[in-house]
Amino acid sequence: MRKPRAIVCDDAPSIQEVLRQILEDMGFEVLTADTPVTCAFYREDAASCPRHNRCTDVFITDYNMPNMTGMELLRMQHDRGCKLTSKNKALISMIDDPALRNDAEALGCHFFHKTKIVAALLPWIKECEKRFDLSEPLASDLYLPAQKKSL
């Protein structure tokens, strides 16, 4: 059995660190990136996800980031056939905009307002865990900008 993996994409180091600590305390391997540059964080610029296995069990992205928004990243992952279920993806934002929430939920993703994420994250992660299969291997050749691993 492997540890569950989470990928957190946020350009704010303080948010990355808070989410890292919460997830590590829950037993996760946590990978972080401060800018989204390619779909699924692989080096290839493929038209579809080139991997057989998904790259993570949980994916959390900030809305407002350099190069593209978190919503654009989630749409691109969806369009390219990301192997991770959208139910295990979340968009976080300081903007509490109903249209943004609706856009995320239309893709099947969860939406968190950043001021409420600490209280709301645990119940969501518990729901996500019901969809994990820790006996299935994850893709291991990830490329994350500013990659940080905690094993």
List pLDDT tens digits, range 122-138: 999 999 999 999 999 88
* Domain layout of the chain by residue ranges: 29-150
29-150: what fold? Answer: Rossmann fold (3.40.50)
What confidence score (pLDDT) does residue 134 get?
94
What confidence score (pLDDT) does residue 62 get?
94
pTM for this model (two decimals): 0.87
Q: What's the CA gap between 114 and 93, in Å, rounded? A: 5
Answer whether 138's CB lies under 8 Å from 36's CB. no
Residues of the chain below pLDDT 50 = 38, 40, 43, 146-151
